[in-house]
Structure 1
């Protein structure tokens, strides 16, 4: 039997998506030796809408990512479809958040973020599949076992702390008994690229009416999107935000029926496709936890950080990666084992405090989407009222100045304060 090669680091991060690269960048920027283990080779495909809200833009800016150069395409707001009406809504003008969104393919963005972490001092190790955690006699995680390269050579990485940013699979978390909560929604994103004249559109199209095939034609809780990528293509797809309804629907038929509502010249038909239809899970509402246990921190999709209000995952992946890194930094600097554990155990508490209430509201929003008549009535009336649309956009995107903002922000702050965390 081949003996496993052995390596060491202060922190091992598993997965080089936005959550893993964010954690690695913050850890390396603090002077820690961090190794990022990624099973794929870059560039690689990732199913996503490729859109960043102002919340995501701020997370990138806070990491020192230059989003003004080639490849980053600005978008000024949303074009919302619903109830037979359409409204163009600019992103809110707030002190706490940028006034624009961005689009960029995950194929490019994930590679760029991994390189950004390397630039801060992280070690990126691709083609390495983590198989299981290393545990000491007390059951504490002290590293990971992995297989490297095409020959799947065994390799061991030892570290006092491990950050799991593996995505929905959460192999390490499952090994410690942290299973996804079935009482929390699990959505699905389905997307493809098409050649479309909407490629340079300043607004991102969002539609709140998806209807399943079949005799009942049930409306499914989700939304469709058309995001112009600025390169001659558009990302078209939908997020089905609760797969407990409409699970038998033909995904291709759902997308086709919605896109057939647009004129042929928009370039949104099957014949305009330049990529296959792909799908991926959307774990929401902090659906796996606790986000820290026995030397293992969970970030991004592994912890279920996708926003139930709008299916937004990149922003929360970046933020949870930062929070996990900050907990690890504090723990490794702690003077005693008890102080270290106290620093680590604050991470899941902080995660719930910062996003848990908003995600609880999002679960209520999913219940609303499950009532098609209510959705159509609300959107038909609401889209005629710009202030109401602006307030709804702030709420769904978790974009406010809090109690220091205007009347809308203060009202939303009260609403969040009265909402229990998930």
Structure 2
């Protein structure tokens, strides 16, 4: 019987496996897809994520980011806030995945090409499709099958929250800024992240079921900056909001998007996944898996608070147009919000 079975070999699962292996645990990752796996992602990592990668001895090629810029798509108003605690990083999701996989392999972590369909547990162990471990970590993504199988998924109340989706493409143009730009239109945001010397990612977050090109056309100041470059195929994700009743269910623990997700609006998903993976393994090492629930809530508090506040404002037609002007008028407040996330 192994110490830890990680279901899902994305960044959250691999980070968990790396932390576990470094602390002497026998860990196996179950991931049916050959890596590196690409998916819809803003690809901008906050300074906290960069620090977490450094702690894992993981180096990822990318573009250094100095801060965040809000741009009003209609009026052109702008607000900027630089990170006060180091730099962020714009990096392809595939590059991040490959670097984490290489580090895990160097520590002897086994990755088996297996899709986990059934999970059962006792007081002593967890069994998943014939594999037995002392603990299981579900890192199986936004629509976690493990979360649903254990009855932890929360069914959304109709009309309570807007249903939002993410769409992403890359464009072969030189970055025009070392800031992540967030362009705000009436009901859509465009996140522009430099990820290489001649490549930027443009992720659209919206509740409107329109094509990528139709959504992009809502940002007249952004379109000319892409210089007519042809975009890569569109990748999508959603609905983004996914709630979980708990992060710990007996000997099963949840990390990354599987632990619950509010929205990609503040761009903190990777940072939270990496830092909570560390906290999870610390709780297991100390023999207190139940303590992970509190640790996750503490680590995610700023993300949940700021994201929920922005979404609430975003959904009010009279308030949404004031987001960028308010950030520009109160730069100290904007910097404080960015520092909370960074």
Please, what TM-score do these two structures have when normalized by structure 2?
0.89
Which fold has the larger relative contact order, with Cα–Cα distance below 8 Å and residues 6 or more apart in sequence?
A: 2
1:268 and 1:236 map into 2 onto residues whose CA distance is: 13
Change (3 A) 1:24 1:164: same
Say yes or no: does 1:16 pair with 2:16.
no
1:263 and 1:177 map into 2 onto residues whose CA distance is: 44
Q: What is aligned with 1:33? A: 26
- Report 1:368-387 matches (<5 A): 368-387=313-332
Render the CA deviation track for 1:361-383: whole Å, top value 9, x for unaligned. Answer: 43222110112432323422431
1:306–1:312 contact (8 Å) kept in structure 2:
no
Say yes or no: does 1:276 pair with 2:233.
yes
249-258 vs 83-92, which moves further: 83-92
**Of 168, 192, 196, which aligns to 1:226?**
192
* CA displacement at 1:177 relative to structure 2: 1.3
Poorly superposed stretches of 4+, deviation over 6 Å: none
Change (3 A) 1:320 1:188: farther
Q: What is aligned with 1:173? A: 147
Gaps of 5+ in 2: none
Q: What is aligned with 2:127? A: 143
CA RMSD of aligned residues (A): 2.5
The structure with more radius of gyration: 1
Say yes or no: does 1:76 pair with 2:63.
no
2:164–2:240 contact (8 Å) kept in structure 1:
yes
9-18 vs 56-65, which moves further: 56-65
Change (3 A) 1:205 1:228: same
* CA displacement at 1:119 relative to structure 2: 1.9
Q: What is aligned with 1:347? A: 292
Please, what TM-score do these two structures have when normalized by structure 1?
0.73
- Report 1:394-405 matches (<5 A): 394-395=339-340, 397=341, 399=342
**Of 199, 214, 226, which aligns to 1:267?**
226
1:181–1:288 contact (8 Å) kept in structure 2:
no
SS of residue matched to 1:224: strand
Q: What is aligned with 2:218? A: 258
2:153 and 2:103 map into 1 onto residues whose CA distance is: 31
Render the CA deviation track for 1:107-165: whole Å, top value 9, x for unaligned. Answer: 1211211221222332122x3211111444x7x761211xxxxxxxxxx2110100000
Gaps of 5+ in 1: 1-7, 146-155, 210-218, 241-245, 332-342, 400-422
SS of residue matched to 1:383: helix
- Report 1:7-406 matches (<5 A): 8-67=1-60, 71-82=61-72, 84-87=75-78, 89-93=80-84, 97-98=85-86, 100-125=87-112, 127-136=113-122, 142-145=126-129, 156-182=130-156, 187-198=164-175, 201-209=177-185, 219-220=186-187, 222-240=188-206, 246-247=207-208, 249-262=209-222, 264=224, 266-267=225-226, 269=228, 272-281=229-238, 283-284=240-241, 287-305=243-261, 310-331=266-287, 343-356=288-301, 358-395=303-340, 397=341, 399=342
* CA displacement at 1:296 relative to structure 2: 0.4
SS of residue matched to 1:182: coil
Render the CA deviation track for 1:211-263: whole Å, top value 9, x for unaligned. Answer: xxxxxxxx33x5211112224221112123xxxxx45x314244321344336
